[in-house]
Amino acid sequence: MSEVLNVSGLGVLRQPREVIFGPGQRRMIAPLVASLGTSVLLCTDERMVGTSECRDLIDQLGLAGVAVHVFSQTLPDLPRSNIMRLAEEFRGRGIEAVIGLGGGSCLDMAKAASLMLSHPEDIREYYGENQVPGATLPIVTVPTTAGTGAEISNFAVVFEEDKAMKVGVGSRHILPTIAVIDPELTLTCPPGLTAATAADALSHLIENATDRSKNPSASDMMNHLYVGKNVLTDVYCREGLRLMAASMGRVASEPENIDVRTDLMFAAYCGGMALNTAGTAACHAIQAPIGNLTHTPHGFGVGALLPYVMRFNLPAHPTSFAEVARALGVFRAGASDEENGGAAIEKVEELLKAVGCPLTLEELGVSPDDFEAIASASLLATRLTANNPRELTHEAVMEILRRAWHGDRSSWD
Ligand SMILES: [Fe+2]
C-alpha cells in the first residue's frame, strides 16, 4: 500500500499571489486591477455581460482610470477557435492585464488570453504540461459559479475541435495573479448550473482527498503539475468536505441563502487549491469522453460516476476514505475503515441527489454500445489516471461503466 501513502510527508500548494474571499468583496476588483495596468481585457460570456454586476464592474474600472476592452463571446468548453478569435482581435492593442468574469470557461479564457497576448503562437503550441515558455500578462479571476476551482488553478481546459476532445494548457505561467471570490455573484446562478458545479466541486474534493500520494523527486516536482495528494492539499479537502456536508444539501431549496452560497463557494475554492497539485483522477478521466458523446455538463458526468469510482477505489486505500467520512460528519468510532468509507459513499450519494445530479449513466444518456470507446479514451488521459489510488485497467473502467449505468451499488473486492 506504500505506493498510495505520503511516506515523504510532503506538502505542496500552488496558488495565486492574492486571494480575496467574501460576500461583497468584488468591490476590491477595480483597485486591485488598477495596480496591474491601465488597459485591461475583460473575458466573459453573453449571459454575464448583460448583468448589472458586469456593468458595475466596468463602471468601477473606468472610475479607477482603467480602460476596459470586453470580449463577451466566450463559449462553453472553450473551443480552440474561440481563443484564436480573441487573439486575432486583441493582439497588439497594448493590453496590460486580463480579467476573467464568469464560470470555468470564462476564467480559463482569461488564462488563454493572457498567454495569447504575451506569446505569438497558436494556442495548440502550448498544449500539455509546462509548454508555456515564459511570463504572461497578469490574470485576475472572478468566478460566478461555485465549482470548477478554475479561479486559482494553473490549468486552462480547451476543446480541440480537430480531434473532438478536451486538452489542457498547464503551466505556472498561467496561474492567476489575483482571485476575487465573492459568493454574492452566485446568488443568481440558475438551478441546473448550481447543481452541476456543486457536483463538480464535490468530485474535486473527493478525488483529491483519496488520490495517490506520489512521493515525488525534485525533478518530478519541477516537471509535473500533479505531484500527488499531500498534507497541504489534505487541509483544503477536509475543510471543503465539511462545508459541502453542511450546505450542499440546502442550496436547491435555499438558493438565495448567502450563508449556503458562501459555504459552497469556499468548498469549491478548497477543491481548486487541492487539485492544483494533487489532481483529479478516474472520474475526470472517464467523464471527458462521456461529455464529448452526450454533451452533458461536466459536473453531472463526474457526479454520476463518483459513487461508483469511490466503491472501486475504497479497497485500495480505506484509510483515506475513512478520513473522508470524518470530514463529512459520518465517521463512527469503532467501525472499520471500510465501513466508514461506505458511509462516506452513501453521504456523497445523498448530497448529489439533493441537488438533482443524475446518479446513473443511463440518466445521462450514455449508451452501453459506447462503453468500449469510452473506456479506451479514458485510459488515454494518463495525467489523470496516474492520480487514481487503484490502477485503472480497461476491464476496470468497463466494470465501473456497467455498474454506473445500471445503478449497481454493490461493493468491490
Ligand atoms: Fe471537474
Ligand 1: centre distance to CA 285 (Å): 10
Q: Are strands 39-43 and 128-129 parallel, antiparallel or unpaired?
A: unpaired
Ligand 1: centre distance to CA 39 (Å): 32
Give the whole-angstrom CA distance, residue 402 versus residue 232.
35
DSSP 166: E
Helix 191-210 with 231-247: angle, nearest 10 deg: 140
Ligand 1: centre distance to CA 384 (Å): 11
pLDDT tens-digit map of 361-405: 999 999 999 999 999 999 999 999 999 999 999 999 999 999 999
Ligand 1: centre distance to CA 198 (Å): 10
DSSP 213: B
Q: Do the domains 189-406 and 25-181 match in fold? A: no
- pLDDT tens across the length of the chain (413 residues): 445 789 989 999 999 999 999 999 999 999 999 999 999 999 999 999 999 999 999 999 999 999 999 999 999 999 999 999 999 999 999 999 999 999 999 999 999 999 999 999 999 999 999 999 999 999 999 999 999 999 999 999 999 999 888 899 999 999 999 999 999 999 999 999 999 999 999 999 999 999 999 999 999 999 999 999 999 999 999 999 999 999 999 999 999 999 999 999 999 999 999 999 999 999 999 999 999 999 999 999 999 999 999 999 999 999 999 999 999 999 999 999 999 999 999 999 999 999 999 999 999 999 999 999 999 999 999 999 999 999 999 999 999 999 999 999 999 98
Give the whole-angstrom CA distance, residue 311 versus residue 328.
17
Ligand 1: centre distance to CA 68 (Å): 30
Ligand 1: centre distance to CA 193 (Å): 13
Amino acid code (one letter) for 367:
S
| pLDDT value at residue 3 | 57
Ligand 1: centre distance to CA 152 (Å): 13
Q: Which three cell numbers stand for residue 359?
A: 446518479
Ligand 1: centre distance to CA 95 (Å): 30
pLDDT tens-digit map of 82-91: 999 999 999 9
Overall CATH class of domain 25-181: alpha beta
Q: What is the signed CA dihedral for 258, 260, 264, 265, rounded to 10 degrees?
A: 10
Ligand 1: centre distance to CA 204 (Å): 6
Ligand 1: centre distance to CA 300 (Å): 10
DSSP result, 68-126: EEEE--PPTT-BHHHHHHHHHHHTTS---EEEEEESHHHHHHHHHHHHHTTS-S-GGGG
Ligand 1: centre distance to CA 125 (Å): 24
| pLDDT value at residue 1 | 45
Q: Write out the residues surrounding ion ligand 1, Cβ under 5 A.
A: 200
The CATH architecture one would assign to domain 189-406 is Up-down Bundle (1.20)
Q: Give the residue extent of every domain in the chain.
A: 25-181, 189-406
Ligand 1: centre distance to CA 407 (Å): 22
Place of cell 492520480: 387
Measure CA of the first residue to CA of the last residue in the chain; give whole Å. Answer: 15
Classify residue 179 by burial, with Cβ atoms within 10 Å: 0-12, 13-18, 19+: buried
| Count of CB atoms situated within 10 Å of the CB of 162 | 8
pLDDT tens-digit map of 12-45: 999 999 999 999 999 999 999 999 999 999 999 9
Give the whole-angstrom CA distance, residue 282 versus residue 381.
9
Give the whole-angstrom CA distance, residue 106 versus residue 373.
30
DSSP H stretches of helix in 133-257 = 191-210, 218-223, 231-247
The pTM for the full model equals 0.96
Q: What are the residues whose beta carbons fall under 8 Å from the beta carbon of 386, sequence distance 6 or more?
A: 212, 214, 226
Give the whole-angstrom CA distance, residue 300 versus residue 16.
28
Ligand 1: centre distance to CA 181 (Å): 18
Amino acid code (one letter) for 240:
G
Ligand 1: centre distance to CA 37 (Å): 32
| pLDDT value at residue 4 | 78
Considering just the CA atoms, what is the radius of gyration of the chain in Å? 20
Give the whole-angstrom CA distance, residue 295 versus residue 302.
13
